[in-house]
Structure 1
Amino acid sequence: MTDTTPTSPAPEPDPTSIETPAAADAAPLDAPEGPSAPVGAAPEAPAATVTPPQTSLASRGVNYAVDIVFCIDVTGSMDPILDAVKANALGFYDDVQTNLTAKGKNVAQLRVRVVAFRDLVADGDAAIEESPFFALPDERARFSEFVGGLTAEGGGDAPESGLEAVALAINSPWTRTGDRRRQVIVVWSDQPAHPLDASAVPADLRSRIPADFNGLTDAWEDAQGVMGSSSKRLILFAPDGPGWSDISAVWENVVHNPSVAGGGLSDVDYGTIVDSIGNSV
């Protein structure tokens, strides 16, 4: 007997189950692609459908959203690097884009912000100056204006409040957009860093600055924290010494370029800074 039971139509796919591109923090940006799937023997399958394994991310339409926070020591000795930053602020976006394009990386969104620091004990309320994120190139004039208003002065004794600046940078309002993200902190200082001391931190900053170095390390290493585990980068242009050497010895995703203590980073070339940022993306 023939089965006359109506055949039920195949269920439509649930839109919520369709896979989307991997999140930005799923893997390092420059991880090599896996091997292509075997090509079938059917003659009509064109070879052009196989993606070459060395195709750049830019050519595949992968866009980067890059946030950069500059932690800048603005104590009295820092005139050389501060002058260089001021001179290049308006052209910073173009310089970074040129560098990244040469590396085959397409940046769809680039934002920068500044945490300028001195010495909380010696300079009090003048020890920390923060900017919001500036979206480049649209807000390049505002970025240049903020940097242009920074003055190299104060600082008291040699160690400065650099670790507090790094803590504030870690707790930035990082972007959540883009195919791939990079969260880059760049520190410029020619002095070692004071140990973290909660008693020296103004009340309005205490919620964003850990009480000690272990707490700061936890904030950086926290895989569930505000920074993505594979998207974060820390670039140090700072001398070997307390604070900076402790960070480079323990933290992941850190590049330490030792500077000359007390030299105002006069030994650091602006092009080297731009290239270091390009390499971190």
Structure 2
Amino acid sequence: MASQFRYEVDIVLVIDATGSMHHLLDEVKANALRFHDDLQAEMFAKDKEIDKLRVRVIAFRDFWYDEEPLVESDFFVMPDEAEAYSRFVQGIVASGGGDEPESGLEALAAAINSPWATGGSKRRQVIVLWTDASAHALERAQTGSPPAYPAGLPKDFDELTDLWMGQGPMSAPARRLLMYAPDATPWSSIGSYWDQNVHYMSRAGEGLQEVDYKAVLDAISQSV
């Protein structure tokens, strides 16, 4: 049976790459080459089909603790660039981070500002964020930021909210945010006040051991 709905989908995977997150990273790495086919199968089961899929990865740690606090890829066109995508994620090592909080909001801002595709009548722009930690307030950088801190990030949570809610590059009908994050600052506020998001509450400090790859695929396909 042919699928009723066909979509052009951009997905940005925002991954906490601190030391406790090795389980989640191992899941992403183990399934990297199958990601397109597995997601397409989940979509087809829901009478949907992806015409074009691009995937981008942002791995974050802590700007105030780590030498490599933010690692970003370009978008990979799947399945044509599946091997390049796999090589990128294989190179991410769960390390560092120190104590909570981490730099999750900076990573989320980078994801929102991704170079999203603008064509297609059925577009979806999906951010999937995984963390087991709270996040530094963006205001911290206003009193002095580390050398690697990116320019042009929102100055506070209100500016980040504005970026999500329509002042950024994402399309309002197309945008989706899936968060696997603890009931902690700022994730609980985002879950309560931002539109088009689903907050799957994780256990703090346990590396998202409870997150299952197939459940993530199901959540992504439901969001499209």
TM-score range with shorter-chain normalisation? over 0.9
Cα distance in 2 between the residues matched to 1:185 and 1:191: 18
Deviation, structure 1 residue 262: 1.0
SS at match of 2:172: coil
Residue 238, structure 1, aligned to residue 181, structure 2: yes
SS at match of 1:144: helix
Partner of 1:253: 196
Q: 1:140 to 1:150 in 2, by over 3 A?
A: same
Residue 279, structure 1, aligned to residue 202, structure 2: no
Letter matched to residue 71 of structure 2: E
Map 1:201-220 to 2 at 5 A.
202=147, 205-207=150-152, 209-220=153-164
2:18 aligned residue (63, 66, 75): 75
Partner of 2:7: 64
Partner of 2:45: 102
Deviation, structure 1 residue 203: 6.6
Give % identity.
52
Cα distance in 1 between the residues matched to 2:77 and 2:42: 18
1:155 aligned residue (93, 97, 102): 97
Long gaps (5+) in structure 2 = none
Letter matched to residue 200 of structure 1: S
Partner of 2:57: 114
The count of corresponding residues between Structure 1 and Structure 2 is: 221
Letter matched to residue 205 of structure 1: P
1:76-132: per-residue Cα shift (whole Å, max 9, x none)? 0001111111000110001100000111112110000011000000014x0000000
Partner of 1:270: 213
Partner of 2:114: 172
Cα distance in 1 between the residues matched to 2:200 and 2:162: 23
1:167-207: per-residue Cα shift (whole Å, max 9, x none)? 00000000012221000000010111111133336577222
Contact 2:19–2:95 under 8 Å retained in 1 = yes
Structure 1 runs of 4+ with >3 Å offset: 201-204
Q: 1:203 to 1:73 in 2, by over 3 A?
A: closer
2:135 aligned residue (193, 206, 228): 193
1:62-83: per-residue Cα shift (whole Å, max 9, x none)? 5311000011000000011111
| Greater Rg by CA | 1
Letter matched to residue 173 of structure 1: P
Cα distance in 1 between the residues matched to 2:26 and 2:72: 18
Q: 1:204 to 1:245 in 2, by over 3 A?
A: closer
Long gaps (5+) in structure 1 = 1-54
Cα distance in 2 between the residues matched to 1:105 and 1:200: 45
Q: Is the strand fraction higher in 1 or 2?
A: 2
Cα distance in 2 between the residues matched to 1:258 and 1:182: 23
1:181 aligned residue (123, 130, 146): 123
Contact 2:63–2:148 under 8 Å retained in 1 = no
Q: 1:102 to 1:122 in 2, by over 3 A?
A: same
1:221-245: per-residue Cα shift (whole Å, max 9, x none)? 01x5311111100000011101111
Cα distance in 1 between the residues matched to 2:48 and 2:28: 24
Contact 1:76–1:153 under 8 Å retained in 2 = yes
Q: 1:68 to 1:153 in 2, by over 3 A?
A: same
